[in-house]
Chain A
């Protein structure tokens, strides 16, 4: 963990120096520029309405997380009998079949990661409001959230594969459940929430507190 060096006084932020950064092509633009001359994107000092959009998407995802865990994701039936499985009961079944490593993988990707991502986003949004001194830790948390977010799609891909592959009529079929909709929405909305969040606000907030 890096600490905030004591000689941080001479560090200049782009916003103080009258500079903006194009987030798409990382070109440094003057403050009055509206469109990046290189790639044509709109250039803003900070992401527009970052906090409000991020809150909205995070709360949406939190609401969707409930049906995603309660509704059945898929039904595996052999000889025309089978119970609809939710995420959690699917994991339990994997454990019962002795496939603990896979069960852990699916459990991490589908239950733990979305939950931690939601809590992490809420934590970051609160941190912007009430700045502390732990910017480095918050920055790392943000990077982890962004990086890890995509891996929750794993379950959706597995369902898509199973549904396409296992169509043997009476011998065995896999059908997808409505929970897949909710779960896919959770993953997409949390990814969008993380993208809307502007980590520079964390550093701004810390600066304000120091003054």
Chain B
């Protein structure tokens, strides 16, 4: 562990039950063992922070300094690489004078033609659709955080909804596994023919690096906190507005009464 990082087992909530209130923002539950935990957060934002459950050792959050802006840059990198990774061939193969290049999409289509439509759909979803969707969702969510004023209320709600989907899709994006699959395929084919990596393979490896960067830099809890903050701001503003409306109406009514 690096010197500037801090691994801190979260404090256990040891007070009496009656003092526990769900509004307390430092209070969390361990998602794996349901322990009530009070996060004693080191307030220095320049330090890396890992909080884990004292009972089952689950990582509750991993805070990186400047994590959000770093992950935004990774998201943009990933989106830039996404298109070439899918357009350019990942592998090029040569037998005698025949040459065959294959993109990820070609593999999906080939499976489809052979009557394995379900498997083709699965490969498409896991290797192309979910990774792309996740990057797009993150771009939108980051936009809602960094350009808060420009986003309408419905857009912010949509951002929360999307980020929830992002969390749920976590397991189903399999870029790194596909990459390993490419490597195994190359070795398998090596004695059969000349196999060369295509430009798509490089972009695909970059895409994997971007996903890794996002998973390292982005603290999901931090994103949720930002989204929650803007929601509460919006709510209090709405409350204020409705109160002003009520006041002005009462004022008008009293005026009317006087004029009568």
Verify B29–A28 contact, CB threshold 8 A.
yes
Chain B min CB distance to A187 (Å): 9
Give the size range of B's interface with the partner.
Answer: 35 or more
Could you say which residues of chain A place their CB within 8 Å of the CB of B93?
165-166
B26 to chain A, nearest CB (A): 10
Total CB contacts across the A-B interface at under 8 A: 208
Closest B residue to A14 by CB, please name it: B29
Shortest beta-carbon distance from B197 to chain A in Å: 12
A39 & B122 in contact (Cβ 8 Å cutoff):
no
Q: Does A139 contact B (CB under 8 A)?
A: yes
Q: Which of B22, B55, B182, B193 contacts A19 (CB 8 A)?
A: B22
| Interface assignment of B214: CB less than 8 Å from any CB of chain A | no
> Are the C-beta atoms of A14 and B36 separated by less than 8 Å?
yes
Report A-chain residues with C-beta under 8 Å of the C-beta of B171: 146, 149-150, 191, 195
Question: B127 — which chain A residues lie within 8 A by C-beta?
Answer: 157
Contact of A184 with B224 at beta-carbon distance under 8 Å, contacts A13-B34, A21-B29 already known: no
In this complex, the interface size class of chain A, counting residues with CB under 8 Å from chain B, is 35 or more
A193 at the interface (CB under 8 A from B): no
A181-B119 in contact given A12-B13, A39-B161 (Cβ < 8 Å) = yes
A156 at interface by CB-CB < 8 Å? yes
Chain B residues in the interface with A (C-beta under 8 A): 12-14, 17, 20, 22, 27-29, 31-36, 55-58, 90-91, 93, 95-96, 98, 100, 102-103, 106-111, 114, 116, 118-120, 122-123, 126-127, 160-161, 163-164, 167-168, 171, 174, 177-178, 180-182, 184-185, 187-189, 191-193, 220-221, 224, 227-228, 231
Sample 17 A-B pairs with CB under 8 A, ordered by A number: A10-B12, A11-B12, A12-B14, A14-B35, A18-B20, A136-B57, A139-B33, A160-B110, A161-B102, A162-B188, A164-B106, A165-B102, A167-B100, A171-B95, A172-B95, A191-B171, A195-B171
